[in-house]
């Protein structure tokens, strides 16, 4: 993981120089922090009706921007919804907070990914794209941030809908204004 940070800081320094005075861009590969830990997969079991399931909060260490202004945080990623049975839809929500407990608060909701229809056995690939909610941007000034993924399912059939939502990539691009170097 240290190698990833070293390479990220080198890329960041180059990007900061390219962006001009007072601006830096950090690209945080969130998926690399959870890959192989089991936290990149959210199993779901949805009886007729609706239900939600989530992974545990995960900490991401950041270089920190202290008094700088976070201009924006954009999200790009991919998700595989691997349905095993049933018919309905699965959506995803990203929660971001300053601590692990805060990631369970409704106010920590930073991004909603619209639900995708699933049916029977098969994989539906989905794209995660958007900007974090305005209140979440300032969290990236600190040296760590906590995030949690939540899958929400709606079962339109009469049998159990089950499967796994698997995060295959997730990157946050943080644009910071102010001189931080």
Q: What is the pLDDT of residues 124-164, one digit of tens each?
A: 999 989 888 877 877 877 778 888 888 889 998 888 999 99
Q: pTM (2 decimals)?
A: 0.75
pLDDT-derived band at 101 (thresholds 50, 70, 90) equals very high
Write out pLDDT tens, residues 41-55: 888 889 888 888 888
Q: What is the pLDDT of residues 5-28, one digit of tens each?
A: 433 443 444 444 445 556 777 787
The pLDDT of 105-110, averaged and rounded, is 90
With a cut of 80, say whether residue 118 has pLDDT above it.
yes
Q: Helix/strand/coil (H, E, C) string of the chain? A: CHHHHHHHHHHHHHHHHHHCCCEEEEEEEHHHHHCCCCCCEEEEEECCEEEEEECCCEEEECCCCCCCEEEEEEEEEEEEEEEEECEEEEEEEEEEECCCHHHHCHHHEEEEEEEEEEECCEEEEEEEEEECCHHHHHHHHCCEEEEEEEEEEEECCCCCEEEEEEEEEEEEEEEEECCCC
């Amino acid at each position: 993981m240290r190698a990833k940070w070293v390479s990220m800081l080198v890329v960041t320094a180059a990007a900061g120089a390219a962006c001009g005075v007072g601006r830096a861009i950090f690209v945080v590969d969130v998926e690399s922090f959870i890959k192989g830990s089991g936290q990149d997969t959210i199993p779901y079991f949805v009886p007729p009706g609706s239900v939600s399931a989530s992974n545990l909060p995960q900490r991401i260490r950041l270089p920190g921007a202290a008094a700088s202004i976070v201009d924006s945080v954009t999200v790009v990623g991919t998700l595989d919804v691997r349905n095993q049975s049933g018919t309905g839809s699965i959506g995803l929500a990203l929660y971001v907070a300053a601590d692990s407990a805060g990631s369970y608060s409704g106010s920590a909701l930073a991004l909603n990914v619209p639900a995708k229809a699933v049916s029977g056995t098969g994989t539906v690939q989905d794209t995660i794209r958007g900007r974090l909610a305005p209140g979440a941007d300032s969290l990236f000034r600190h040296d760590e941030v906590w995030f949690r993924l939540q899958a929400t399912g709606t079962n339109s059939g009469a049998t159990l809908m089950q499967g796994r939502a698997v995060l295959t990539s997730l990157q946050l691009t943080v644009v910071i204004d102010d001189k931080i170097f």
